[in-house]
Amino acid sequence: PGCSPGARTSCRESAQAHGVGALSGDPKDKGWWSGRRSFSRGAKDVLERSLRIAVARRDRNIGDEHILLALVGRPGVPAEVLADHGVTYESVTRVLYGGGEAKAG
């Protein structure tokens, strides 16, 4: 499986930094003997979402703020844990990009 058109640069940079196929989750590389760990489907989704968020905001790099927004913007345990403390996509966006401080839990 290849990269989506919007993620090609990110995939190319990942291949340069971590080796070809680092994002592919190739089954032959999943043994305990493998020197490289693959990303889970959920982790890939978070990284792809963070890329889309950065592109939409016209940011030049993917930063931890984009990853945080991607985590709270999708269903799952991380979003639930953060929501239990009052951290939502909207509150993070408000704190990062304007509108005042959000109060957590």
Domain residue ranges in the chain: 1-39, 41-105
State how far the Cα of 105 lies from the Cα of 97, in Å rounded to an integer: 20
CA-to-CA separations, 40 to 23, 37, 43, 63, in angstroms, rounded: 9, 9, 5, 20
Per-residue pLDDT tens digits for 71-93: 999 999 999 999 999 999 999 99
The pLDDT of 39-66, averaged and rounded, is: 95
Instruction: Please tell me the pTM assigned to this model.
Output: 0.61
- As a whole number of angstroms, the distance between CA 57 and CA 51 comes to 10
What does the pLDDT read at residue 74? Answer: 93
The domain made up of 41-105 is a member of CATH 1.20.1740.10: no
Tell how many helices (H) and how many strands (E) occur in the chain: 5, 0
Confidence of residue 6 (pLDDT cuts 50, 70, 90): low
